[in-house]
Structure 1
Amino acid sequence: MVDIMVAAGYETECTQVFLVARRNALDTTLMSLGYEKASIDDVVKMAWEGLETEIGAWIKAFRHTVNVGLSAEHDLCARVFAGSNAVLGRDIFADLARSAMLQMLNFTEAVAMTKRAAEKLFKVLDMYEAIRDGAPVVDAYLSSYENPEKGGGDGIRSISGTEALADLKSELASVRARLGESAAAIFCDLESSIRADAGKQPVPGGAVHPLTRYLMNYLKYVCEYKNTLEQVFREHHRPDTDDSPGHEGESSNPFALQLMEVMELLHGNLEAKSKLYKDLALSSIFLMNNGRYMLQKIRGSPEINAVVGEAWARKRSTDLRQYHKNYQRETWGRVLNVLRDDGGITVKGHVSKPVLKERFKQFNAAMDEIQRTQGAWVVSDEQLQSELRVSIASVIVPAYRSFLGRFAQHFTAGRQTEKYIKLSGEDLENIIEELFEGNTASMTRRRN
């Protein structure tokens, strides 16, 4: 049929009918994969939930077109337009490939034009990867057109086909660049969002801040795209990061530098938020909770750990130990001072009963205050909770038992003993075991 139409002078009509038929066939295939054409205005106005679904369908359709559709259409054109019509067939395929894929790339351009938002990063990267992975397929077709002997042609160079595929290659590169710029900008916007999070309301109980949870989980997911983001940032990183100090040799990796910048900003943000607590001990609990959460997320993800590096993790571990010491000093250092015989209780071998009574009063008041204030404090990480309790008990309980052993007999048994010795060693252990659960009710009952 093709031979007859071309011979009769109907080459244009033949190619137009064939192109329309194959475009319709490709459109039908794309629709069966869930992808439907949408105008740029429609895409830009679309709510993210709906657009996210559309992007998923686009990726599926685009990958199918590149990996299956183009090959099938190429083979069909070669069979239908064979022999003396081979050059015409190659031109038709090139035109078909260009028109089909440019129509899909319009959708990508529209997505890149939508308002930037952190949650869009991953779909933008998915689209970037699809286009990046599809480019070599187009390059291979273009190469075979420019060098017919590689493509098994008849040696005649198809100029229009080459131009069509070259145009498609250029468009793919342009759209990929747009998506790369968008992805890099979205990730860099995290800096602004952290700086903007300057809430003046402290998190109750010194618990993990919502910003910490959100960012660390976000970064964990981001690092699953580590290789792609490194490529994106090499192509689209900001010039002002060129001379930034590196982390463990990461100065040549702009993505790693940007991620470390985000981590440092989060750390600084949390340090600022810790000052919202009037109680220095609670401030230390807050920093411990958030620092531990960050560290656990890093250690639990090989991808983010590879980017952050061991040196940063060790530095945060050192910070955690310092926060722990600060808490111990603020809360329990004062209690230990009450239990020390610094020369005020025993004078020339004799126990000063008024001083001893005052010390027991101070100890009881301190424990009452700790239960009252710290009963609502939270340490959600079980290992950290256990470490804190053990470290407290290992210092305070022996000191209190020793104090009781030395001085309890100086009170008259009965009412006087009950008045000043409110807690046994076991009671003290139980109080410590109930700390950091955020459960004021049980501690209130014990106090009553």
Structure 2
Amino acid sequence: MPRKGMRSIFFKSPSPTRMTPPSSPLHHTFSESLMEENIEVAQFIITKWDSSHDDNLVSLFSDKDEARQYLGSIKGLQKAMKYLVLHQSNSEKLVRAQLLMQTAMKRLQKEFYQILKSNRDYLDPESVSAHSSSRPSVSRSSFSEFEEEEEEEDESENENNSVPEVERASLAAMADLRAIAEAMISAGYAKECIKVYKIIRKSIVDEALYHLGVERELTFQKIQKMEWEVLEFKIKNWLSAVKMAVKTLFYGERLLCDQVFSVSAAIRESCFTEISKEGALALFGFPENVAKCKKTPEKLFRMLDLYEAVSGLWPEVESIFSFESTSAVRETAVNSLIKLGDTVRTMLMDFETAIQKDSSKTTVPGGGIHPLTRYVMNYISFLADYCGILSDIFADWPFTVPSALPESYFGSPDSEGSISSPISVRLAWLILVMLCKLDGKAAMYKDVPLSYLFLANNLQYVTEKVRQSNLKFLLGDDWLRNHELKVKQYAENYEKIGWSKVLASLPENQTAEIPADRVNDHFKKFNSAFEEAYMKQISWVVPDPKLRYHIKISMARRIIPIYKEFYEAYGGVQMKKEMWGEPFIRFTPDDLGNYLSDMFYGSKSSGSVSSSSRGGGRSH
């Protein structure tokens, strides 16, 4: 350590307006003798612990009494030096005292370094943050407290006995560091103390960030060139690391700085800033750089994850990095939120545009669920899980519903089940955009009944996705009821058009007398119409079990009772005639039920419908 000149704190000239009267020779001699005694005591203790020629350092602070005496001697030495500066500024005693102070400061600097190194496990940020927030310090906590009476020290020891050993060691180490720091700062050796602290603690923080996976060299240029799978992996790592970094690493480091350098706000700020600023800027610069990359719909949810992580930690960031010198960290976190918010809004608009521009011309076999429906509804149902974050992102970006859209689409304004929040309206609008596209795709089917079945299937998928996700709470009961009613209407249209020819083949008035030739004609027409409808529709699908059951039951109730009544009235006579001629009756009422039960599974047609000897079909 370089030799120090007289520290400025010892050269305080008396005010010219307040002249101190000369002391009496007796008083001067008495004060001088006290100061000489302070120097003698300090020389004895400081020389005793002088480690200039001793490489094996035995810790002064391993013995509480010795540490108290050592720090007390330094305080006495300071008083003597102040006295000599005022009364004997050219005295050899002052030079001697200064040399002793330098020796003492060298020793304390080594002790400071040794405590930081040897107690690394006890001073890790996790340990510090764990106990500092829940328990006040119960050990020695400052330079002055080393001079407390024995009784108070004994009380402190008794309190320490109730504290876990690891926590007790951590508290004791912090108290020792604080006492040393206060002594060195008071003596004008703050620079030497701070240098040791910054070097050791910064290496610990940097190492911790490295193990958390925080990459400092990950620039925007590097991120931009990454494959999405690689970048997504790094985003997941960052999401796992950021909470630990803020709530444990930086929080614990801030607490430790505040404890050790409690006597100086400026030093606390300087140390914490140099130790943590670089790592924190790298940590919070990552999401901003990610947000600048190419925007595609599949990246939206990771952007929301990043936004949620940063916004959720903002109160801690604002508190931990509250110093003016760490304002860049706060600004970087805010800029990340701004950039991520812009990216999310852009991606959501791009998503809507992608739905509108979908130009696929291929029809889904059997009128099943269109890929667009699956993709959009899965996407929107995931978005619903981020409704709180989306509300924050779109808070200053109100959504205007197109004037052509009926208000009833969002439910009655006076109803409790209607859509109310801006995010709910946005999501409802996206679903409507998709449903409009599905209307166009339904028109591509040549069979009108199949187009209605397609609409029923896809809208049923939509309502089920809403019911099974957070969309249910966002869109409300009115929205669900309205769209479930539309599903029923589509299904009814399918039944009416798809089976109208079958129903038309039977007489309207079953009670009226029908000539025999007309009876034969009705049976023939029914056979032909039913077989044609069945053969065409056996390959059609209804993926949803509830909707499939509903349509089957509805069809059975439409067809079987009418056919059964006609069959029971004329079937017996016709069967007798068929024994000697062409068969007119191919289906019994039970056969119809069996055939209908086999429908909507997407089965391939066998080319014909078997006779009335057919067995039972699938269960409903």
Q: Does 1:434 align with 2:598?
A: yes
Q: Does 1:128 align with 2:307?
A: yes
Q: Which residue is equivalent to 2:363?
A: 202
C-alpha displacement of 1:232: 1.1
C-alpha displacement of 1:34: 3.1
User: Which one-letter code corresponds to 1:65 in the other structure?
Assistant: A
Percent of residue pairs identical: 29
Structural mapping, 1:323-362, within 5 Å: 323-341=490-508, 349=513, 351-353=515-517, 355-362=518-525
Q: Secondary structure at the match of 1:52?
A: helix
Q: Which residue is equivalent to 2:530?
A: 367
C-alpha displacement of 1:21: 4.2
TM-score normalised per structure 2: 0.63
Query: Is contact 2:214–2:282 with CA below 8 Å preserved after alignment?
Result: no
Q: 2:569 aligns with which of 406, 409, 421?
A: 406
Q: Does 1:424 align with 2:588?
A: yes
1:280-308 CA distances to partner (integer Å, 9 max, x unpaired)? 1111111111111111111112x211111
Moved more, 131-140 or 437-446: 437-446
Q: Which residue is equivalent to 1:184?
A: 345
Structural mapping, 1:290-309, within 5 Å: 290-301=458-469, 303-309=470-476
Q: 1:42 aligns with which of 222, 226, 251?
A: 222
Q: Which residue is equivalent to 1:152?
A: none
Q: Comparing both chains, which one has the higher relative contact order based on Cα–Cα distances under 8 Å and sequence gaps of 6 or more?
A: 1
Query: Residues of 2 paired with 1:408 and 1:72: CA distance?
Result: 90
User: Which one-letter code corresponds to 1:169 in the other structure?
Assistant: R
Query: Residues of 2 paired with 1:421 and 1:79: CA distance?
Result: 98
Structural mapping, 1:205-224, within 5 Å: 205-224=366-385
- Structure 2 residue runs of 5 or longer lacking an equivalent are 1-108, 110-180, 615-620
User: Which one-letter code corresponds to 2:597 in the other structure?
Assistant: E
Q: Secondary structure at the match of 2:284?
A: helix
User: Which one-letter code corresponds to 2:501 in the other structure?
Assistant: R
After superposition, the Cα gap between the structure-2 partners of 1:20 and 1:58, relative to the gap in structure 1 and judged at 3 Å, is farther
After superposition, the Cα gap between the structure-2 partners of 1:31 and 1:292, relative to the gap in structure 1 and judged at 3 Å, is same
Query: Is contact 2:399–2:426 with CA below 8 Å preserved after alignment?
Result: no
C-alpha displacement of 1:35: 3.3
C-alpha displacement of 1:424: 1.2
Aligned length: 422
Q: Which residue is equivalent to 2:266?
A: 87
User: Which one-letter code corresponds to 2:286 in the other structure?
Assistant: F
Q: Which residue is equivalent to 1:156?
A: none
Q: 1:62 aligns with which of 236, 242, 256?
A: 242
User: Which one-letter code corresponds to 2:484 in the other structure?
Assistant: S
Query: Residues of 1 paired with 2:402 and 2:292: CA distance?
Result: 27
After superposition, the Cα gap between the structure-2 partners of 1:17 and 1:195, relative to the gap in structure 1 and judged at 3 Å, is farther
Query: Residues of 1 paired with 2:361 and 2:545: CA distance?
Result: 28
Query: Residues of 2 paired with 1:18 and 1:41: CA distance?
Result: 35
Q: Secondary structure at the match of 1:187?
A: helix
After superposition, the Cα gap between the structure-2 partners of 1:280 and 1:378, relative to the gap in structure 1 and judged at 3 Å, is same
Query: Residues of 2 paired with 1:253 and 1:409: CA distance?
Result: 65
Query: Residues of 1 paired with 2:195 and 2:561: CA distance?
Result: 94
Query: Is contact 2:366–2:450 with CA below 8 Å preserved after alignment?
Result: yes
Query: Is contact 2:251–2:320 with CA below 8 Å preserved after alignment?
Result: no
Query: Is contact 2:215–2:282 with CA below 8 Å preserved after alignment?
Result: no
Q: Which residue is equivalent to 2:387?
A: 226
Query: Is contact 1:6–1:14 with CA below 8 Å preserved after alignment?
Result: no
After superposition, the Cα gap between the structure-2 partners of 1:307 and 1:289, relative to the gap in structure 1 and judged at 3 Å, is same
1:107-132 CA distances to partner (integer Å, 9 max, x unpaired)? 11210011112221221111112211
C-alpha displacement of 1:184: 2.1
Q: Aligned Cα RMSD in Å?
A: 2.9
C-alpha displacement of 1:90: 1.9
1:157-193 CA distances to partner (integer Å, 9 max, x unpaired)? xxxxx32233322222121111111122222222112
Q: Secondary structure at the match of 2:601?
A: coil
Q: Secondary structure at the match of 2:499?
A: helix
After superposition, the Cα gap between the structure-2 partners of 1:259 and 1:28, relative to the gap in structure 1 and judged at 3 Å, is same
Structural mapping, 1:377-392, within 5 Å: 377-392=540-555
Q: Which residue is equivalent to 2:433?
A: 265
User: Which one-letter code corresponds to 2:563 in the other structure?
Assistant: Y
Q: Does 1:107 align with 2:252?
A: no
C-alpha displacement of 1:326: 0.5
Structural mapping, 1:133-172, within 5 Å: 133-141=312-320, 162-172=323-333
After superposition, the Cα gap between the structure-2 partners of 1:28 and 1:433, relative to the gap in structure 1 and judged at 3 Å, is same
C-alpha displacement of 1:75: 2.7
Q: Which residue is equivalent to 1:22?
A: 201
Query: Residues of 2 paired with 1:142 and 1:28: CA distance?
Result: 20
Query: Is contact 2:381–2:465 with CA below 8 Å preserved after alignment?
Result: yes
- Structure 1 residue runs of 5 or longer lacking an equivalent are 144-161
C-alpha displacement of 1:335: 1.3
Q: Which residue is equivalent to 1:159?
A: none
C-alpha displacement of 1:436: 0.5
Query: Residues of 2 paired with 1:16 and 1:352: CA distance?
Result: 114
Query: Residues of 2 paired with 1:416 and 1:229: CA distance?
Result: 77
1:80-113 CA distances to partner (integer Å, 9 max, x unpaired)? 4453x54212222134333221112221121001
C-alpha displacement of 1:440: 2.1
Moved more, 270-279 or 328-337: 328-337
